Amino acid sequence: MLDDIVNYSTEPDKYLDVPFVPTDENVVEAMLNLACVGPKDVLYDLGSGDGRIVVAAAKDRDARGIGIEIDPLRIADAMEYAGWSCVEYLVDFIEEDIFTADISEATVVTMYLLESVNLQLRPRLLSELRPGTRIVSHAFDMGDWKADEWLEVDGTKIYKWIVPARVAGAWEWETSDGKPYRVELQQKYQEVSGSAWLADRKVDLKGAKLRGSRLELVLLKDETTSPDSFTLNFADGKLKSVVPDK
């Protein structure tokens, strides 16, 4: 299998040789479980090969599936497999470069590429996918973008990332009883830090947890009172709502 080489980019300056190695069925199942794939999902498999991940998502999870593959022979095999599995109405396979294909519709992205390819794809995944989209990679990580979750199956690691909203910046809101809050946030992927104020008084930002478009903040006024907790919801780079956690 390792000598079956597929070039995943048609651009000469991005020429990449990636070996086609089919993913074991138990690893496929683990990837779909880790991504929590369900009937409402649209799964894109980048470098879809023989289509087994796309077909499994459709057959076992009733999810829509799109395979992006540059090798027309692999696409022919995948379409035949989808027909044999009676899920051709839920799946499609597109002959296209994984670096230029439109993936914005995806709610789940799966990959079994190489770490160097993952790193080249990383900017696209972060900028073009909607916050909350789950990305699952078989065997290879994303460098300093640490996985939100990972597990090991048959000696192979599977990584999961949740695309984070862009939350860096200054944000203000007022509670129902008129208390004005302000935070100034820095962000590196899903890791968030910063400073917070209640009116003109600085308070401690004790916790910040970003998961997709939801940012949970814990603010502590002093050691004698209970912390204030809020969930900030973001969309299109803007703060859409703030919900106090009780």
User: Can you give the pLDDT at residue 2?
Assistant: 31
Query: How wide is the angle at C-alpha 66 spanned by C-alphas 36 and 135, nearest 5°?
Result: 40
User: Can you give the pLDDT at residue 234?
Assistant: 97
Stretch 47-63: mean pLDDT, rounded?
Answer: 97
pLDDT surpasses 50 at 10: no
Within 13 Å, how many C-alpha atoms sit on residue 17's CB side?
4
In the chain, domain spans:
5-162, 169-245
The pLDDT confidence band at residue 36, using thresholds 50, 70 and 90, is very high
User: Can you give the pLDDT at residue 22?
Assistant: 64
Please provide the CATH number assigned to the domain covering 5-162: 3.40.50.150
User: Can you give the pLDDT at residue 24?
Assistant: 82
User: Can you give the pLDDT at residue 223?
Assistant: 80
Helix (H, G, I), strand (E, B) or coil at 154: coil
* CA pair distance 177, 198, nearest whole angstrom: 13
User: Can you give the pLDDT at residue 18?
Assistant: 57
pLDDT digits (tens, 9 = 90+) for 175-220: 999 999 999 999 999 999 999 999 999 999 999 999 999 999 999 9
Mean pLDDT, the chain, integer: 92
Best CA proximity match to 6, nearest among 66, 61, 71, 60 = 71
Q: At what angle do helices 52-61 and 25-34 cross, to 10 degrees?
A: 60
Q: At what angle do helices 72-84 and 52-61 cross, to 10 degrees?
A: 20
Torsion of CA 53, 33, 128, 140, to 10 degrees: -70
Residue 92 β-bridge partners:
66
First to last CA, the chain: 55
pLDDT digits (tens, 9 = 90+) for 122-152: 999 999 999 999 999 999 999 999 999 999 9
User: Can you give the pLDDT at residue 21?
Assistant: 58
Residue 203 β-bridge partners:
196
User: Can you give the pLDDT at residue 19?
Assistant: 57
Stretch 235-239: mean pLDDT, rounded?
Answer: 93
Best CA proximity match to 24, nearest among 144, 127, 125, 154 = 154
- Which range (19-33, 50-64, 158-172) has the least confidence? 19-33
